[in-house]
Structure 1
């Protein structure tokens, strides 16, 4: 079906639906994929038709919105924004590398070296911390692995790496649990720091073993950490568990082992492991 006809059908559907309607249901009624629906909504917004996404409810077209007929002309195709990945193979960039491979979109890799190019004026202008990973997507710059994974899942919804907005409680909770309490507890333990009970009250991570038991409890019997489907949260949590068990900073709990073994078999992760093996062989 031509895009003009699809846009007209989309507007007609929203006009006759007083309450917000969820993306999956809307796509099914229109007979299109979710990816096509997102593209069509973006096309309407680009010409001034503000389709509103009511958080946790769905899409709605406000009654005051008017649509000049000329705005439904077939839009010219947009050039996709270039996606550049700044990394070093021996860094947390491995998390983002896996995420990018799961997306299946084109990207350009820029490898930086510790102490030299990572601290160059050009890169410091991008990330004043002088560390990796970072991405540039068009004019957007994102640093910090958890933030990058979250951004990419939203920037490329067709990959299905984030749950629907109304079902993102566990997704956000455990992704940032790993970025916060888990990373902090692992860092303190690796440095040989054992906080007192009083100090634990001041730390976001509290006690190392409480963090471990909490994570083991949520993963028991689960293939994925945020519901029944693989998501960006699994990329982030899974990588930390894989690294932690490999380097001995995390115990090989049966819950961790079962979860990680399921994730590491994914083709995207296998490609990342093959790349790392080649890098280490050439080092």
Structure 2
């Protein structure tokens, strides 16, 4: 059974029910696991079909939903820049986020790609802990993406995946030149994030403890990162890449929130990135959210 057929079948099973249908019974009727059922319900919600979950009872479909739903046939999948996708919505890219989260990194990456995508905004709390979203990310955190059948979580992994999934955007160096690209992308995702978190919490590991930590010493990382961006517009070669999206985000946010020092190397590097049109669109979006807009 194709995904489109399965989604149509799921809608038909729920459409005329007066009482909720329990998840296990619904999964059995579709011949899928509960996890797959939750993922498919998340897909329906992502394309605008609001399946209602009554906790402890099951799922219902609002009576106003008609078959076949237009969103499953000729979609208009829109990103911040607008435009329509040529793919079926069920196979398009869905971006799960909260504007005030690390999802901003992925938002910037998507805008740099210039592709069509659908954004699903989740509030902190019950929305991120719902069974449907936990089937996307069992940690109940954002960001995450679903691209066809592929689900990717963790901002650095998403950036790396998107750069490879859309090579025409040129956001990953050729394979033979990816040493610095992988190095700095994942140094920022691992040691740098850990060291910043420990330092922000006021935890100063002893030299012996630092040897046991993957993050090592906070100030050694600051010096290393400053040296990596000193007098360079991009961190991994002569061209902008996904590594700049990820590292640049951490440097920009770090200086703004005081978790990284305002060193001249960081300020010069970030000043060169923040004026990119894609980054400016993302900043404007967050400003609208903070001002109470949409």
TM (norm. structure 2) is 0.69
Q: Distance in 2 between matches of 1:235 and 1:185?
A: 20
Aligned pairs (5 A) from 1:5-20: none
1:86 aligns with 2:96: yes
* Superposition misfits of 4+ residues, deviation over 6 angstroms: none
Q: How many residue pairs get matched?
A: 206
SS of the equivalent of 2:291 reads helix
Q: 1:250 aligns to what?
A: 260
SS of the equivalent of 1:118 reads coil
- Structure 2 unaligned residues grouped into runs of 5+: 1-85
Aligned counterpart for 1:174 among listed residues 170, 176, 184: 184
Q: Distance in 2 between matches of 1:100 and 1:216?
A: 26
Aligned-residue RMSD, C-alpha: 1.0
Aligned counterpart for 1:112 among listed residues 122, 130, 145: 122
Q: 2:222 aligns to what?
A: 212
1:160 aligns with 2:170: yes
Aligned pairs (5 A) from 1:63-74: none
1:104-158 Cα distance to aligned partner (Å, 9 max, x none): 0000000001111011110001110000000000000000000000000000000
Q: Distance in 1 between matches of 2:94 and 2:154?
A: 15
- Structure 1 unaligned residues grouped into runs of 5+: 1-77
Aligned counterpart for 1:124 among listed residues 112, 134, 159: 134
Residue 205 of structure 1, CA deviation: 1.0
Aligned counterpart for 1:195 among listed residues 193, 205, 218: 205
Q: Distance in 2 between matches of 1:79 and 1:153?
A: 19
Aligned pairs (5 A) from 1:18-57: none
Q: 2:269 aligns to what?
A: 259
1:282 aligns with 2:253: no
Q: Distance in 2 between matches of 1:99 and 1:91?
A: 14
1:103 aligns with 2:125: no
Q: 2:243 aligns to what?
A: 233
Residue 79 of structure 1, CA deviation: 3.7
TM (norm. structure 1) is 0.72
Residues 1:79 and 1:111: Cα distance change in structure 2 (over 3 Å): closer
